[in-house]
Amino acid sequence: MAKELKEGAKAPDFRMESTDGPVTLASFRGKPLVLYFYPKDDTPGCTTEALDFTTLAKDFAKAGAAVVGVSKDTMARHEKFATKHALGVTLASDEDGATCEAYGVWVEKQNYGRTYMGIQRATFLIGADGKILRIWPKVRVKGHAEEVLGAVREAA
């Protein structure tokens, strides 16, 4: 990660359009926020991750936490993705990449010998006070949403 954020540090502020209207860090003040970054709408891993968070959406809500998925896709793509898969999580569009940069997830990646810039799948659990409680860098999708829910419940 380019910018190394640490657990216990103040979470970087953000402002993005989302499937639920404009969102900022302050709009979640007073409750935990799960901010998860993913590379691209409607790709296999990203779809599985969004569906896993959707499956547990009621449990996150019961624990008092909001869940927001972030990628650089446009709002039109987010709306199409959310509708196609009946997603129950908020999707935020970071088209200019400012939030990805602030959270250090815009990184150099390699695939089949090709080097390019892209979003590293990562999740941040931000406490009610705006401080980072937990960071999951380089996320593996299988079982991740359940692990994050466990951490939200622990933090409550």
C-alpha to C-alpha distance for 88 and 104, rounded to whole angstroms: 26
* Annotated catalytic residue, options 5, 11, 23, 46: 46
Beta strands 90-93 and 15-18, pairing class? antiparallel
Looking up tokens 């972030």 gives: 70
- The CA–CA distances, whole Å, from 105 to 4, 29, 71, 138, 154 equal 9, 23, 10, 9, 25
Q: Active site includes 100?
A: no
Cβ(71)–Cβ(119) below 8 Å:
yes
The two structure tokens encoding residue 128: 């009610």
* Helix H or strand E encompassing 102: helix 98-102
Cα 152 from Cα 127, distance rounded (Å): 9
Annotated active-site positions, please?
46
